[in-house]
Amino acid sequence: MKQKTLGLIHTSATLVPMFQQLCQQQLPGVQVFNIVDDSLIKDVIKRGELTALTARRVVDYVGSAEAAGADYIMVTCSSIGAAVEAAAALTSVPVLRVDQPMADLAVQTGSRIGVIATLPTTLAPTSDLVKRRAAKAGKEIELTSRLCEGAFEALMSGDTAKHDTMVADALRELQQEVDVILLAQASMARVVDNLAEKDKGVPILASPPEAVKHLATVLT
């Protein structure tokens, strides 16, 4: 049986080790390669939206991953989700948004769903995805979004402690209002690992582990 190959496309090099670890744990025997271009997310942040030019570059990277032999492709940045869906329609192998498995699980888990982001450019795409996945599942939901302003800038300047504190505070506050919380960015996932059990009053879902769990069901 031919060894399966997974192509990962990132907009931040900081995500590579996290996904490498998850893939080693949950995708034994699957060959993984990474494509990284942080100018994609920088362009989205600078312009405040996903432009047609940036979307076309995402489509090109997905095509490159297919040409490199990927049997399955995942893009690990939620801010460019719309481009990922466009690329999927042009690609002959499956292409996954990193946040789709998390969104599906959230819809299954509760009807009052909270979304937390540190970037406004991620908050809207993830919230939109949750609404669409809920509609597809035929479920009515109430969505509450929360932006941790300044947290992403702190992370990019190297102040991880400030970023983590801001996200943790927002999580504690939001869980009073919802049944389940989604972290809109993969970069927020480690905050949950360091959160005290008493601060996990509702399920808190991060996209990387849920995405790799999903990949395990289709690749292994």
Mean pLDDT of 96-101: 95
* Arithmetic mean of pLDDT, 50-64: 96
pLDDT band at 204 (very low <50, low <70, confident <90, very high): very high
113 closest CA partner among 137, 95, 149: 137
Cα gap 113→103, rounded to integer Å: 10
Please report where in the chains the tokens 């690990």 appear, as a residue: 76
pLDDT confidence bin for 215, thresholds 50/70/90: very high
How far apart, in whole angstroms, are the C-alpha atoms of residue 22 and residue 149? 28
CATH number of the domain at 100-207, please? Answer: 3.40.50.1860
- Burial class of residue 24, CB neighbours in 10 A (0-12, 13-18, 19+): exposed
pLDDT at residue number 14? 87
150 Rama class: left (phi>0) / alpha (psi -120 to 50) / beta: left
Residue 218 carries which DSSP code?
H
**Contact 71/99 with Cβ under 8 angstroms?**
no
pLDDT digit string, tens, across residues 149-161: 999 889 889 899 9
pTM for this one?
A: 0.89
| Strand ranges for the chain from DSSP E | 5-10, 31-36, 72-75, 95-97, 112-117, 142-147, 180-183, 204-206
Record: fold of 5-98+209-219: Rossmann fold (3.40.50)
Residues of the chain with CATH 3.40.50.1860: 5-98+209-219, 100-207
Rounded mean pLDDT of 30-53? 95
| Helix segments in 48-88, DSSP class H | 52-67, 81-88
State how far Cα 113 lies from the chain centre.
16
Q: Which of 34-38, 189-193, 206-210 has the highest mean pLDDT?
A: 34-38
- Per-residue confidence band for 1, with pLDDT thresholds at 50, 70 and 90: low
Residues 216 and 159: their CA atoms lie apart, in Å, by 34
Q: What would the two tokens of residue 124 be?
A: 């809207």
Provide the 8-state DSSP code for 38.
T
| Residue 7 parent element (H or E) | strand 5-10
Q: Which residues does 15 contact at the CB level (< 8 Å), separation at least 6?
A: 76, 186, 187, 208
pLDDT of residue 194: 85
| Section 136-158 average pLDDT | 93
Place of tokens 């990132």: 10
pLDDT-based confidence at 190, cuts 50/70/90? confident
Report yes or no: 76 and 188 within 8 Å, Cβ to Cβ. Answer: no
